[in-house]
Structure 1
Amino acid sequence: MRHHPISPITERMQYRAIGIARGRYMPTEKEELTNGFIYTRDGAKIPSVTLGKLLNLIRNHIQLKKLYLWIVYPRCREISQLHLQMVGVWEPKTSKNLKLIEGTNVDASMLPEQENYFSVRGELIYTEPKKNVLVIQIRQIPRGSKLFLPPFWLQVQGKVPTILLNHFLALDLRRQNQSLILERYVVIGSLAKSCL
């Protein structure tokens, strides 16, 4: 069994945006489970969609009245409007394949980063330290029959100096309400194209 819901990095310049959101998932319609909201313990109501095999898990094993640690991909559909794509649920006390979802009390202390943690790796394409805002561009790996997936952007609250524009950063973020807040960042390398 994997002891952490977020996979370790396998490449130095690996793009990603993934996190953990603890809450109750409520679909917008009883028969349509793909769209809904995650209601978090801190009172946030975050628009969400379920992806892939998670939909089957929700239909057959998840008790929607309970809190879970959801594995999610963050997106910003509008400025300062967080949207989550739900890809999994993490229950360290259950079997490897998550066929059984037991218990209501997920122990978030088993996560070193605690709940509401997000790991984002991408290119800094905008930063305005005086306004406490930055934007990271994340490139997606093509999947299935799609040869190209467009990059997407995440707006983050925090300060990163303008000298780091066009640099690849690894960021540790924390969700607060509808915002992703910068806790720390590491510069991985420059992505600026040379003018030769």
Structure 2
Amino acid sequence: MKSYPSKRNYKRTLARLKIFLCKLHGSSVYQPRFSYKQILFSYIGSFLGIAALAYLSIKTNYPLIAGPFGATAVLLFAVPESPLAQPRNVLGGNIIGAIVGLILLHLFGSQPWVMALAVATAIKVMQLTRTLHPPGGAVALVGVMSHAKWDFLFTPVLAGSIIMLFCTLAFNNLIPERRYPKHWL
């Protein structure tokens, strides 16, 4: 005869699950809230920005898109008021990440410790220059991982960053409630 859990055990398990979920829900107090309108604008803007990079890459035969631009799109279109999403940070952070990654790649190769050193050094230099942009760390990592050449600095990093900024300027400033950038430098 098959035994089934008693109703009492079932209720106890549900009560524990409810307590656990309530504790998780408490952390949502610290998370940003977005209106449905903001979510829609972020969705459309990020789609248009990444699509512009992808289509321009195909049409020009220049690699204008890289993985870190997905993270840049999150900042530019979901939280354009963030200090980390301002033009100085986008351009400076991505360029610093590329330069650091390329220098370390050409000096030491692409071993795992060089990947770690590239990200850590890029973060340090971005902090020192007040150009912190989280995707800049990813740019440094991608540069080392992909054994990038020096043209990586210009395409996709510089050109892609500029295109993303133009898309952000055009899109966010068409929306009455949004103004981008908050500051240029």
TM, length-normalised to structure 2: 0.26
Instruction: Mark the structure with the bigger radius of gyration.
Output: 2
* Higher relative strand content: 1
TM-score by length of structure 1 reads 0.25
